[in-house]
Amino acid sequence: MNSMKFRRTAIAVAAAALLPFSLAACSDSGDTKAAPPAAGDEAKTGASNPMDDSMTGDEPFGAACAGVPKEGAGSFDGMAKDPVATAASNNPALSTLVSAVKQAGLVDTLNNAKDITVFAPTNDAFAKIPKADLDKVLADKATLTKILTYHVVGQKLTPKQLENGSFETLQKGMVNTAGSGEAYKVNDTSNVVCGNVKTANANVYIVDTVLMPK
């Protein structure tokens, strides 16, 4: 009798000892089913990544963007606060363009315009023009105005719109754009070297060649 009683006690003790482990196993199994999807499973589950949602791709792009000041009025943040002619005057790479705009009396016209796009030639772009020819243009206000207003479109253009576009300029001529990603051309002659730069009233695409109206 004592032997049988001892066996029953031992079995009860063993069962009691195993019970917590059985419950833990059940608990772990339930947790596994409710666990969030692992990294890389978003495509399977349709879950979105908040970080991905916040990245709109609406940032300046291009090799020449590296030359834009990191802070101050000439930085991307600084330019976004000023109208386009003022913003350009704070960018050292656009000093020749700014001088031409002043010479043509277009500062107020550009600063007061709403929702425009400016294809802004760099100093190096103007340097491609023989000095005698450039000096002649700068001295001829009517011709200079035609050239400068040919660089302005009366709407804010996104990079997507530049992929295969044709747009009327303030000069009334047309500019054609093509490209994708971070590589765009204007009129097949000028490359966008720093694009999608925002100012208070314009989107700016800095280009490496001066555009000439027909």
The yes-or-no verdict on residue 150 having pLDDT over 50 is: yes
The yes-or-no verdict on residue 12 having pLDDT over 90 is: no
Kindly give the pairing relationship between strand 164-168 and strand 116-121: unpaired
pLDDT attached to residue 94: 96
pLDDT attached to residue 2: 46
Average pLDDT, the chain: 82
3-state helix/strand/coil string of the chain: CHHHHHHHHHHHHHHHHHHHHHHHHHHHHHHHHHCCCCCCCHHHHCCCCHHHHHCCCCCCECHHHHHCCCCCCCCHHHHCCCCHHHHHHCCHHHHHHHHHHHHHCCHHHHHHCCCEEEEEECHHHHHCCCHHHHHHHHHCHHHHHHHHHCCEECCCCCHHHHCEEEEEECCCCEEEEEEECCEEEECCCEEEEEEEEECCCEEEEEECCCCCCC
Over range 117-132, report the average pLDDT: 97
Q: pTM of the entire structure?
A: 0.74
Beta pairing partners, 164 = 178
pLDDT attached to residue 214: 87
pLDDT attached to residue 57: 63
**Each residue of 60-119: pLDDT tens digit?**
999 999 989 899 999 999 999 999 999 999 999 999 999 999 999 999 999 999 999 999
Q: How confident is residue 205, by pLDDT bands cut at 50, 70 and 90?
A: very high
Distance of alpha carbon 85 from the chain centroid? 21
**Rg of the chain's alpha carbons, rounded to an integer?**
32
Residue 130, both tokens: 């023989």
Q: Around Cβ 117, how many Cβ atoms within 10 Å?
A: 24
pLDDT attached to residue 40: 39
Residue 8, both tokens: 């029953």
**Each residue of 175-187: pLDDT tens digit?**
999 999 999 999 9
pLDDT attached to residue 58: 84
Look at 141 and 28; give whichever has higher pLDDT. Answer: 141
Look at 144 and 22; give whichever has higher pLDDT. Answer: 144
**Each residue of 16-36: pLDDT tens digit?**
444 443 433 444 444 444 444
